[in-house]
Amino acid sequence: MTKSIFASLLLNMFITAGLMAAPVAVQSPNGQVSASFDVQNGKLFYSVSKAGSPIVDASKVEIFPDAKMTLVDQSVRENDTSWSPVYGQFSTIRDHHRELTLSLTADGTPIQLLCRVFDTGVGFRFVLPKESAGKKMTYLSEYKLLGSAAHYAGQRGGEVKTLAKANRVAVPLVTERKDGLHIGFLESDLYSASGFEIMGIRFVAATGTLEASSSAVSIGDGQVTAWRVILIGETAGDLTLNTVALNLAAPCKLSDTSWIQPGKGLWDWRIHGYDNGEFVYDINTRSYLHLIDFCAEQGIEYFTVDDFWFTKAGNGKMTVSPDVDIAKVMSYAKEKGVKIMLYYDRKKGDFGDATLFRHYADLGATGMKYGFMGNRAEFTRAAIDAAAENKLLINFHDGPVPMAGVERTMPNLITREYCHGQQDSRSAFTPETFLKMAMVSSLTGPLDMSNGNFGINSINAGERQKGPRKMNSYISTVVSEVARNLVIYTGLVTLPDAPEEYLKKADLFEYLKQMPATWDDSRVLHSKIGKYITVARRSGDAWFVGSVSDQTAQTLNISLGFLDPDKTYEATIYQDAPDSHGSKNPEAYQITTALVKHSDMIPAEMAVGGGHAMILRPTK
């Protein structure tokens, strides 16, 4: 044996011994975020820190319950690429991370753990080999949190006041720490994790940790779990713009995405019962044709026909309501250049998944709003795929799976109601509810919240069939309604009010008409969960800004430092009037214009339940 070969073998022995004895760490590209892994007594532990400050203390992660883990090898690589989403908050997204690959055995079965560390978060997942096929997996990750002050979670984004008393915590979980850092816990790329459902989070009193778990049977040979994701931000607003979950998701699977077009749409459901002076809106052909006319005249690309257009379904057949000529409605929409999102309600019978989406495509629908399909990941994967095969957009309604990142992989998922739409759960919707969902629920991806009611007095007076259960309980101003549509990220902006109410305030409606549904850049300038938010979004050289307040009259000073310093901008400012009030005088507003520069500060003065909005365009 030569000296060089002997030296190499000796070096490998030392490296292997080091792997077995010391933690393995990987840092983010900027060196601020670090993830560390260690095998102790046959268990794999990880920890996460930022700038040397622990975020998640040593916590267990495993894929086979109680299996003895052994670390065999490790490697690190760096990635720095960019990609363009079909729609979203940015036209280009940078994917800059360092990836640690751990080669392990679990009771002798070889497995891999991948950990990607970004400047703003961490993701880790297991990859299974063919030897694991048939084995029961329980993907478990613990979170031993440090420095927590408040927690918010789930579809409503509500505060979890005592984690120890919560049997289950809904995804995502956002923790606001005492030092001001905001940490988000969720999953990404569940779409690719065949067999797995969404992780469940619970508090384990015995260990004082949170525990996320999901189970499946291994099919082996490259099967992956979802990524367990930890987002890190200085503010709540930082988390809403965080691209870690998107970067972890599988790249787009569709070779042609030209048919996927984000936009704005009108929705009939909350208009029923409104008397426009000529007729009362209802589920019928006349109402639908009138709403299609409005969309065509105002440049609104989509119209959503909601429930009860058909009365029952089964065995590949639908019984259409006698008041609806669906063929005429679809033909008229095509003639007017308006795309139709058509509702499907499984509670009325099972049409048959094999032919359902083909039937909707044959009817002429651009997409489907799918109701009451349940929080089932495997079902959701199949529905997204079947919709894409028929070139249909899909909008999941009523508590869908919070499948973060899927809009990158399958961008025909245009939006979903992993939130409360305006007036859904009508006894609970408040400005505070909106603000929590905007900064918590939104971490899972695009939301269908149906903001933009202009006839607030009419709604509160009970002049709609599906208005608030308690009259005068809907608190918002019309300017807040406008700003909410800018704040919420979605591929389909759903407008819920009657055309007549929008036309009464045509100058205010102009903001929504001009506002795009996809963006080149986005910033969050102010944010406090449940209190206030200011978002600025750019399309081309124009900026749209929206601010929303809770039930406190307040002023947020908006710095225009995001503007091009070499240009002057004309600002159109939409604001609450001096006498506006979210419950006493919700429809008062005023519009002003001004010339502004990047060095200027605009005070966003907001009423109780109020808002503030701006459009800023460079002067010629």
Lowest mean pLDDT among 172-186, 419-433, 509-523: 419-433
Is the pLDDT confidence value at 9 over 80? no
Is the pLDDT confidence value at 327 over 90? yes
Does residue 608 form part of some domain? yes
Q: How far apart are CA 150 and CA 351, in angstroms?
A: 45
How does the average pLDDT of the chain come out, rounded? Answer: 94
Are 518 and 449 a contacting pair, CB within 8 Å?
Answer: no
Does residue 451 form part of some domain? no
412 and 432 fall within a common domain: no
Does residue 456 form part of some domain? no
Q: What is the mean pLDDT of residues 194-198?
A: 96
**Chain mean position to CA 264:** 17
* More confident: 6 or 261: 261
| In 324-446, alpha helices (H) | 326-336, 353-363, 377-389, 406-409, 431-439
188 and 321 fall within a common domain: no
Are 208 and 199 a contacting pair, CB within 8 Å?
Answer: no
* Pairing, β 302-305 against β 263-267: parallel
Exposure letters 12-50 (e unless 16+ CB within 10 A, then b):
eeeeeeebeeeebbbbbeeebbbbbbbbeeeebbbbbbb
* Cα distances (angstroms) measured from residue 206 to each of 164, 388, 488: 10, 46, 39
Residue 300 structure tokens: 């609104």
Give 345-365 pLDDT, tens digit per residue. 888 888 998 899 999 999 999
Whose structure tokens read 């959503």? Answer: 304
192 and 68 fall within a common domain: yes
Are 106 and 63 a contacting pair, CB within 8 Å?
Answer: yes
Q: What is the mean pLDDT of residues 187-208?
A: 93
423 — pLDDT class (breaks 50, 70, 90): low
Does residue 198 form part of some domain? yes
468 — pLDDT class (breaks 50, 70, 90): confident
244 and 336 fall within a common domain: no
Q: Which of 103, 111, 101, 114 minimizes the C-alpha distance to 133? A: 111
Is the pLDDT confidence value at 283 over 70? yes
200 and 295 fall within a common domain: no
**Chain mean position to CA 555:** 28
8 — pLDDT class (breaks 50, 70, 90): very low
Q: How far apart are CA 173 and CA 204, in angstroms?
A: 16
* More confident: 426 or 410: 410
301 and 217 fall within a common domain: no
Is the pLDDT confidence value at 19 over 60? no
The CATH number for 509's domain is 3.20.20.70
80 and 175 fall within a common domain: yes
582 and 440 fall within a common domain: yes
Q: What is the mean pLDDT of residues 556-564?
A: 98
* Cα distances (angstroms) measured from residue 180 to each of 50, 148, 375, 424: 13, 9, 33, 32
Does residue 452 form part of some domain? no
Given strand 53-62, what is the order of strands in its sheet? 24-27, 33-40, 43-50, 53-62, 136-145, 209-217, 200-204
Predicted pLDDT of residue 427: 52
361 and 341 fall within a common domain: yes
351 and 438 fall within a common domain: no
Q: How far apart are CA 619 and CA 596, in angstroms?
A: 10
Is the pLDDT confidence value at 5 over 50? no
Is the pLDDT confidence value at 292 over 50? yes
Residue 153 structure tokens: 């979670």
Give 150-184 pLDDT, tens digit per residue. 999 999 899 998 887 777 899 999 999 999 999 99
240 and 281 fall within a common domain: no
428 — pLDDT class (breaks 50, 70, 90): low
Contacts of 359 (CB under 8 A, 6+ apart): 316, 318, 351
14 — pLDDT class (breaks 50, 70, 90): very low
Predicted pLDDT of residue 13: 34
Exposure letters 155-177 (e unless 16+ CB within 10 A, then b):
bbbbbbeebeebeebbbbbbbbb
- The range of the structural domain enclosing residue 121 comes to 3-248
CA angle, 614 then 493 then 185, to 5°? 95
27 and 143 fall within a common domain: yes
CB-facing half-sphere around the CA of 237: CA atoms within 13 A? 16
Q: How far apart are CA 54 and CA 503, in angstroms?
A: 54
Q: Which of 489, 429, 419 minimizes the C-alpha distance to 453? A: 429
pTM: 0.95
